[in-house]
A and B are shown apart, each in its own frame.
Chain A
């Protein structure tokens, strides 16, 4: 990172000291399509404190992106329908907001970083303008101030020659640089929360690490909370304070990163951790994966959605949906293995340490 002006002194995050910043309760989202109703999110709950990083992990189709977009009110109302739940942000239920009120939340309180940097920017508008737009709207700043701030932001996200670049167009930037710009846009109005939906998936592996580092550094500097949606457990291990594992539209396990990695309580999470290729294992051991494929959310399986693929499935798993089982105030999972009547089992392999 080049030497920057110290305009933004680093903030100290106080984990959970002021109560949760964001609290999602039992969110349910349906999509009405030609083929029927797709139950994209089937009751997910989690919380996030100030300055914390929550990693939301899951396969494609697990409902992670839909949840993220619901938090920002970005779901198109037909065909999407939020059937139930609450999204509490700073005390207010976001689902009750009118369109005008949403405009004050988006960008200013909560911002989003999308997955594909190649298409996330307007090709006919300068980078500077795109960064400054939201800022101008939310603070009433004039064009000159806004441009200065845009230049500063570009510098902070590591774009060289920001005074020149600020007047350029997106096609003059590479993929990695565009994602930095997207991050700059997200930070422009100093939101309290940033949701990053698979921010590195579309980028080269070498760039991925850089972008992630940048994100974490800026988060600390600005004191923002971060929800990081990803399917990459390696990333999770490195940066997350809390973890939420999603499967088929439900949260199946959640907790602090320590708890979820070292004291894993759900067979799906076990499966995910096992499937990570590891350098310390014998080369001849076969790679493990979870058999089967994610369920069709038009007709989710009965009972626990994971039961067709679960090596520990019981009869009850097919008949009923497991309730939440709490192990610690912060650690819970939905799995009948934790019912008193369930047999004791030892997991086949361990998740190991976070390292």
Chain B
């Protein structure tokens, strides 16, 4: 229980955010902030709330398009902005790539940093977001949607007046799509397109195959290159392609949420084969877990693990299942007794 009032805590959090925004920001500032956040959960939740709000104010950058830096328009002048007339607002494309180590407010500042003239003509090269192994990051988009990008993933975002187009080049992403019937939200994963209006869903790309999990609303999964039917998804249904053939799988919403627990840094297994579980962990680290004994591959695992703590997982295998663990170079090899 905090000794401060919520208002006092909020003032402190605002002071941290302000200094983070305009600098100077040193390592000792960062550790000061970390310490303050750890001191009290009330600090942390207050800070996170304000940080999330501040990230969303980044959409104001829309108005700087075409204006010279340092020239502040008069109040109300932005109303003449063409973007406002059309009700919908597009992103200012930026060439900034994110290594995504920092999810801090700073990063949100960089995200929409450079409004350019291409914006006005509707030509988009698209913004690219990439995550390193083991990193899960959230990206607010200027249309009000947000993306949570999983480990080792790459995404290209182009927002125009007619369409919101996302290209999932690698990995996995969860989309929380802001409703905008005039601008469909199209995710391209390999040869498949997934079209949504306002909904929450994830797309994962494994080589040529994709997997779509929906938790809310409706999406349509388009046909592949060699034809086939389009599939309309409702919550609780998972669609995946295996060798480019569409497979529809019924699952409970609970199962869908479990499959999406990576968003909070966890992997959830429910009678998952060790082979599949290991493949999941291997997505999060350059260090590989290798199953040397084929008999082990069929072992069924249930439980929830931190995605970046493969060591914990291996320890469970060792203690709970009597699996032999051997470290060779950087990798972990598993054999049975």
Are A and B part of the same complex? no
Binding site for A on B (CB under 8 A): none
